[in-house]
Chain A
């Protein structure tokens, strides 16, 4: 009994010591600061605790990496974790941040409503909370600012891309996602610009719920009913890729112009291959950097807007061909 126990302890210690080395690298900036002196010497600026939605989605990974990089430049150290879609796990991570007395917390909520209790705990401890990409919808919890893509303007931009693709004339359809705020805003912006263009007519609008498989089916139905369709606006990349699959099935890829939204790598590749006409792309890197800048601004005592929107830009085949990230 005793001997195996000892082996386990030893193994544990070795494993943990390994972690420690890594950890100490991360916290160097803070440890090196002269904490003992009570004078005006600037101490380490402290830690920014981050809990992302998930690390498996490259979009959030990029937000996390950008926060890490920008924070180091500004003199903070970071702890980057992810709730992995589990609201309870995210709450635990926030509680750990509170115990650690971090200077600020950045969240991409796993659940816009359930995240409220975690934010309230941070509020109570006086730690400012910032949300990136996904907003907090619990009104009793206080967030300093929300940094996200400007979906409304992005939708307008997508419409401009559509007008460009069709030379201002044709019949189009929208694969929407009306239950989600971001999807709604994209569709709203898109329709407003299209309404100002007399040559383009929206003949169908059906929900694809941002899901590739469902959008594939919906697109097939739309194409069946409107054989003379000229273009489709899909409110995100999975939907757009679902539409591509539907067009491939009836051999009309490239003939029906698709405008997507997001800028995921697979969609960019499809743009390069001419399957999607253009994407209104988001900038996770910029979301991350802007978040850190907002933290510094707030902790310096400046007023911060309750919402900071990051504009999208239109990404065509020309941009895709110059993109070093694509094959």
Chain B
């Protein structure tokens, strides 16, 4: 048991060289986004309470939000155990805070020390209040001491990255299969838009903002079916009429996008109940977004399909050498068709997730996604010549792209430079593929 785990792990790391790249990237961004950041929540409150001068009249200042509530509650308890007189509490947006502070200033015993949450401490509010209100001119404003932490390596950011990559990664499953067969599918971005629009339109038609869960589910399934059918149509063109995949899917990209614009008249459809955001914004197991859980589940399923089933082996065989596969008794056309249908299916699913995340459907969604999706597959080690590639490699590829985008955003890199870096990464990955091929030859 133990040794088999070891061999599986060994195989995993040797097969997924890109995992190393991903880990290096993560380490890099962890270090570069390391900075002094004020300790928030309970820890911040405890640290702050230790520094407050005894006997002072304290006002706790915080804004709204879960972190801030925790800060206020923890600080109040801490002050109580330390024997401070019970503090005033001022919580809200800046105008509310100011109003309440000014009201406190008029009392017989105005506060002398403000214990502010880190966010409030950044506001120019205290300077303004001190100038404007004489009773508070000497207010001592304190905030939790800074601790070192990385903006990149925080649980909220990691969940954010997974959330951002979920749609691309899910669509990339289909793309990986298509590319392994030696083809390409350019229609996925438009299919995403068509599916998102169809979902929003059907929900609008079946009750709009009051639509039942059943209606929403049915709308989502219909939209996915629609995208799958478009995928099947591309497959038909490619297998029966021998149109090159590039051309067939390029044409479907135009058709699907055009249909999405026709259905919506170019507007966004938003007559959707709030509960529809469950898929895109709700959280489930381990606090991960539902879309991310779905992504992992689909990857496990696809990995199983590609490595443990006949269909999977045939997909590799067709991509490796279609002629040989045909002689070997494989129904090549059926395998090709399967890949494009799966690609349409996952693109449709991506559309439903996007519509759920944004609580609206618009024909402008998904523009340029085909390139991100292809990039995810290629960066993940799928060869554009077909026959080679791994499902989990694609997941890693999708994460590499998402991590670079997110990391650069956190580092304040402006968007023009981001494009250059992303382009270089994709180029680097293809270069890697070439070098590997040459070495083997």
Contacts and interface: CB of A to CB of B under 8 A. Distances in A.
A15 B431 contact: no
Interface in B117-131: 119, 121-129
Interface string B52-87: 000000000001111110000000000000000000
Interface string B133-169: 0000000111111100001001011001001100100
A314 interface: no
B411 interface: yes
Contacts of B146: 35-36
B24 A9 contact: yes
B436 A43 contact: no
Nearest to A97: B409
Contacts of B66: 124
Given A4-B436, A16-B28, A86-B367, A302 B360 contact: no
Interface residues of B, number: 93
B421 A124 contact: no
Interface string A39-76: 11011111100000001000000000000000000000
A1 B21 contact: no
A87 B97 CA distance: 33
Contacts, number: 213
A128 interface: yes
A35 B144 CA distance: 10
Contacts of A98: 160
A82 interface: yes
Q: Most chain-A CB neighbours within 10 Å: which of B25, B141, B364, B439?
A: B364
A226 B20 CA distance: 72
Contacts of A113: 268, 270, 360
Contacts of B411: 19-20, 23
Interface of A: 1-5, 7-9, 11-13, 15-16, 19-20, 22-23, 26-27, 31, 35-36, 38-40, 42-47, 55, 77, 79-82, 85-88, 91-93, 95-96, 98-101, 103, 110-114, 116-117, 124-126, 128, 138, 140, 296, 298-304
6 contacts: A22-B414, A77-B412, A101-B37, A298-B94, A299-B124, A300-B124
Given A101-B119, A103-B123, A112-B268, 19 more contacts: A5-B20, A8-B21, A8-B432, A9-B24, A15-B420, A22-B417, A27-B412, A40-B140, A55-B416, A88-B358, A91-B357, A98-B160, A99-B160, A114-B358, A116-B359, A117-B358, A296-B124, A298-B94, A301-B101
Interface of B: 14, 17-18, 20-21, 24-25, 28, 32, 35-38, 48, 51, 63-68, 93-95, 97-99, 101, 119, 121-129, 140-146, 151, 154, 156-157, 160, 163-164, 167, 268, 270, 274, 277, 281, 354, 357-360, 362, 364-368, 405-417, 420-421, 424-425, 428-429, 431-432, 435-436, 439
